[in-house]
Structure 1
Amino acid sequence: MSGVHIHDPGVNFIARSRGALNDDNLQQALEKAGSGFVHKRQAAIERVPNFEAMRDRALRARQRALKNLDVYLLHFEKKVIEAGGQVHWVETPDEMRQTVVDLCHQYDARTVTKGKSMVGEEVELNEALEEAGIEPQETDLGEYVIQLAHERPSHIVAPALHKTKAQVQSLFREHHNLGERDLDEVESIVNEARDVIRDRFLGADVGITGANMLIAETGTAAIVTNEGNGDLTATLPRTHIVTTSIDKVIPTWKDASAILRVLARSATGQDITTYTTFFTGPKSEQDEDGPENFHIVLMDNRRTEILGSEYEEMLHCIRCGACMNHCPVYQSVGGHTYNSVYPGPMGAVLTPLLRHGKDDYQLPNASTFCGRCESVCPVRIPLPGLMRKLRDQEQREATLNKASTLAVKLFCRLSNRPGLYRRLTSPAVNLLHWLSGRRGRFRSIPFMSGWTRHRDFTAPQGASFQTQWRSRKSPQRGGSPQEKRSRRNG
């Protein structure tokens, strides 16, 4: 393992990538997980004849929601209040943390169970609860594993994707004082986690979950899980707090259905998740179970800045993780390398927009632009295009040194003079081809260290594109035998 700590926020993306590539355990975990997601998704969409139409319907649902987001948010709040719940509006992560802590204190909470919530991770809610003397207990298996390891999620669907079975076994033996037992099988690991967490469900004062969707029509919060921990977290404690963001609202139940049809298929290759649960307010007098108090904390955190901007399509995201499952960069370096709760292609766009950190603007460069992320996105977010826009923005805002500025100006002048461009580039191409010899590439080139520091530079093949084009199109300058015959006959 490299000496670079890949979770250190003071280390940039390139350095963290080197550490990830040299981490044998991480590479083993990524290799096992990556192909599984890809194959299961493909099998799921092949089972339905109209998946592309389903994607279109899900996209239209997200577009309708964002077009009139303020209207639907206010209607959602009205319906939550009518159902007996409360909505709390917060602007920043600090406000989100303080609001949740205050609610926990209001109900004298000492212990809290938590379902998986990306917004909770975004605002570092666990740390705030601990500082306030409240014990948070993650109940999603993956989240529980990384809580024991004191790490962040590396994937938005499978938080502990970066962990091998041996590493999970080691964590459980360290933190569970249960003596000698057999943890060789995955089933035994899952059963042990279930037994340890079960008592926490029964004793929790407050349950905190996220929300996959907020249905404005009825003031309903929806969560999708495969473990049932979200249901227990939401229904067993006396108080249920939903931590989510304003972009999760959708107009109607019909829109919810459209999104559910593509969400699980894209995320885990299922037709629908094992548990799809809807919460509308606290329990009524007729209900035998459920929370007595129901709160939804809605956070902005710069999402209104994204709304209406050239990056608005990023708010269509339904957090399925398909883009990272198919991304060659993510599959090589894992989620922690992005130093964000939102990794992969979607994180490469969303993180700079939410945080504006200097290192965050490296993330749009972490792409091969192969286009796989856009091709599998269930709501057709043009992720490569959005990353290009962020790259352009970074270049416009960067302070270029004099050498770079001069080089760009010279290239622009040269590009505007095609004849001069051809006369200068053709000899340069021939020279580079001759200098590369049989290698066909350069390990370093003067003034191009920014490229060759991380990858070889492919040598030209001996003729510029324009030279080859003229050769193929002109009868006097050659071309294939078929082209020559065609020209003679024509």
Structure 2
Amino acid sequence: MTAHSSVRHRAKVALRDDFLRGAVHFTTDRLRNRKQAVTEDFGHWETWRDRGEAIRRHTIENLDHYLAQFADNLERLGAHVHFCADAREALDAVAQIVRAKAARRVVKSKSMVTEEVHLNHHLEQLGVEVIETDLGEYIVQLARETPSHIIIPAIHKTREQIKALFEADGGENLTTETRDLVAFARRRLREMYLTADIGITGCNFGIAETGSIALFTNEGNADLVANLPKTHIVFMGMERILPTLDDLEVFAHLLPKSATGQNTITYLSLITGPRRAGDGDGPEEMHVVILDNGRSRQLGDPDFQAVLHCIRCGACLNVCPVYRQIGGHAYGSVYPGPIGAVLSPLLEGGEAYQDLPYASSLCGACYEACPVKIPLHDMLVKERQRFVAKTGGKTGEKAAFAAYRVTFADHRRYLGAIRLARRLQGGFAKGGVIRAKIGPLAGWTDRRDFPALGSQTFREWWMARKRGTRRG
């Protein structure tokens, strides 16, 4: 499945994959239930959401100030800062570092931004071996696939598939037991850390007041990636800034609880510049690549600026009825789920992801789950409006809504249409429902029953009741 096919086509493919749907249901149910339990126990969750939203709103409204402060502090610490307008500039910046270091092997920890710019493919074209060290990312890399969930990249893989991938990579005979698969990955990756020329990490948050990089992980791999190679490269979206360390304390609660239902993250690492004299470990050289790639277009836009508040927790995916049915790859984007349906068209532009805003029921569950209260359901509607304003909409939809407007503008036309529809449904309605696949209704009746019109509308029932009352 590619981004160039339609989301409708990709969704149909996903719906035929029973294992995928079962795995997505199982995992998202578990994450959602764990989040509910831990936030109820924590208490005052809505107050924490309000604090998180206020911090993110203030930061994005003053992003230029905090980015400048962050960059100044990084450079004072001895790090090199690369502001990159787009993916090409970011890839060129990394290529220059790779060439300067004559690097042949790179280890990476989880980073959605590097997925966004297709960094692995670019490095491989330069002859560099790239190894993902997050277990889920390692699995999908071996499968030559992209992550299907922001937090759990290999949610769609069976144990048997993982076993086959590991055996092909390492030439060992393995079982499907979790401890054996994890032990293999640990053995395989340990040698990579020790022999890598460059380590590349993402960045959960950059702290403006200190120039620190905050990394949230559960496996500890990011610490090894950042500290063992001589050169450390950090990739971060320009919006991933917090003003102070006090603000980080808020997100040290919001992020793990929303993402995985953990009370606290296993590893919260703060990296403040490269190795200094007297330090026992750390890279000799540190580079921070700060990527725009369409983000700045949302600044000042009252409809979409709040999308930059996102902290990439994935909570919106776990409650989305569409994602839970079709998984992440059906979105055809690095960013799946409701956040991807909003973000991908904004960052990408053009026609590639213009149908993603329609992959939503607009139920609003994503807003209720979001720890920083991003109104994704409202944004999806606005993206649909912009798409229709730009393209004029589909001919069939325009005709249908024109007929709807004419019919519902006059109660007599409405009642006439109801009587006509009631007669026409006679050959299709059985037991109060329509199961036949009829024209544009086929997309509904293919998966569920369509309620048949009743013998009376409420208006007809009410008028009959009034007449009966008068006679009485």
TM-score, length-normalised on structure 2? Answer: 0.93
Q: Deviations for 1:176-234, whole angstroms, at most 9, x for unmatched residues?
A: 123x34x2310111111001000100111111000001111111111100000000000
What CA distance in whole angstroms lies between the structure 1 residues aligned with 2:64 and 2:311? Answer: 19
1:460: which partner in 2?
Answer: 453
- 1:24-35 aligned at under 5 Å gives the runs 24-35=18-29
2:67: which partner in 1?
Answer: 73
Deviates further, 430-439 or 189-198: 430-439
What CA distance in whole angstroms lies between the structure 1 residues aligned with 2:40 and 2:49? Answer: 14
Secondary structure of the structure 2 residue equivalent to 1:159: coil
1:274: which partner in 2?
Answer: 266
C-alpha spacing 1:449/1:400, structure 2 compared with 1 (3 Å): farther
Q: Is residue 106 of structure 1 aligned with residue 100 of structure 2?
A: yes
- 1:66-145 aligned at under 5 Å gives the runs 66-145=60-139
Aligned residue among 420, 425, 429 for 1:437? 429
Q: Deviations for 1:421-475, whole angstroms, at most 9, x for unmatched residues?
A: 444334235335545432512534456667667766433223345545x459x74
What CA distance in whole angstroms lies between the structure 2 residues aligned with 1:332 and 1:446? Answer: 23
- Check the 8 A contact 1:426/1:463 in 2, yes or no: no
Unaligned runs of at least 5 residues, structure 2: none
C-alpha spacing 1:453/1:395, structure 2 compared with 1 (3 Å): farther
1:4: which partner in 2?
Answer: none
Q: Is residue 175 of structure 1 aligned with residue 169 of structure 2?
A: yes
- 1:398-477 aligned at under 5 Å gives the runs 398-400=391-393, 405-416=398-409, 418-432=410-424, 434-439=426-431, 440-441=433-434, 443-445=436-438, 457-467=450-460, 470-471=462-463, 475-476=466-467
What CA distance in whole angstroms lies between the structure 2 residues aligned with 1:82 and 1:402? Answer: 59
Q: Is residue 338 of structure 1 aligned with residue 331 of structure 2?
A: yes
What CA distance in whole angstroms lies between the structure 2 residues aligned with 1:401 and 1:165? Answer: 44
- 1:29-428 aligned at under 5 Å gives the runs 29-178=23-172, 180-181=173-174, 183-309=175-301, 310-400=303-393, 405-416=398-409, 418-428=410-420
- Check the 8 A contact 1:28/1:164 in 2, yes or no: no
C-alpha spacing 1:402/1:303, structure 2 compared with 1 (3 Å): closer
Deviates further, 392-401 or 85-94: 392-401
Letter of the structure 1 residue corresponding to residue 75 of structure 2? I
- Check the 8 A contact 2:3/2:353 in 1, yes or no: no
- Check the 8 A contact 1:114/1:207 in 2, yes or no: yes
Deviates further, 61-70 or 29-38: 29-38
What CA distance in whole angstroms lies between the structure 2 residues aligned with 1:370 and 1:406? Answer: 26
Unaligned runs of at least 5 residues, structure 1: 1-6, 480-487
- Check the 8 A contact 1:206/1:238 in 2, yes or no: yes
Letter of the structure 1 residue corresponding to residue 232 of structure 2? H
Aligned-pair distance for 1:15?
1.6
Secondary structure of the structure 2 residue equivalent to 1:77: helix
What CA distance in whole angstroms lies between the structure 2 residues aligned with 1:82 and 1:167? Answer: 48
Secondary structure of the structure 2 residue equivalent to 1:47: helix
What CA distance in whole angstroms lies between the structure 2 residues aligned with 1:410 and 1:61? Answer: 47
What CA distance in whole angstroms lies between the structure 2 residues aligned with 1:11 and 1:72? Answer: 39
Deviates further, 332-341 or 28-37: 28-37
Q: Deviations for 1:338-393, whole angstroms, at most 9, x for unmatched residues?
A: 11110011111111111124351221111222322211111111121111111222
What CA distance in whole angstroms lies between the structure 1 residues aligned with 2:440 and 2:261? Answer: 47
What CA distance in whole angstroms lies between the structure 1 residues aligned with 2:131 and 2:423? Answer: 65
What CA distance in whole angstroms lies between the structure 1 residues aligned with 2:331 and 2:404? Answer: 33
Q: Deviations for 1:58-91, whole angstroms, at most 9, x for unmatched residues?
A: 1111001011111111111111111111110111
Count of residues in Structure 1 that have an aligned counterpart in Structure 2 = 469
Let me know the Cα RMSD of the aligned residues: 2.3
Deviates further, 371-380 or 23-32: 23-32
C-alpha spacing 1:103/1:63, structure 2 compared with 1 (3 Å): same
Deviates further, 271-280 or 352-361: 352-361
C-alpha spacing 1:477/1:315, structure 2 compared with 1 (3 Å): farther
C-alpha spacing 1:405/1:57, structure 2 compared with 1 (3 Å): closer
Q: Deviations for 1:85-127, whole angstroms, at most 9, x for unmatched residues?
A: 1110111111111111111212221111101000000000000
Q: Deviations for 1:144-176, whole angstroms, at most 9, x for unmatched residues?
A: 111111100001111111111111111111111
Letter of the structure 1 residue corresponding to residue 229 of structure 2? P
C-alpha spacing 1:403/1:85, structure 2 compared with 1 (3 Å): closer
- Check the 8 A contact 2:387/2:393 in 1, yes or no: no
What CA distance in whole angstroms lies between the structure 2 residues aligned with 1:402 and 1:366? Answer: 20
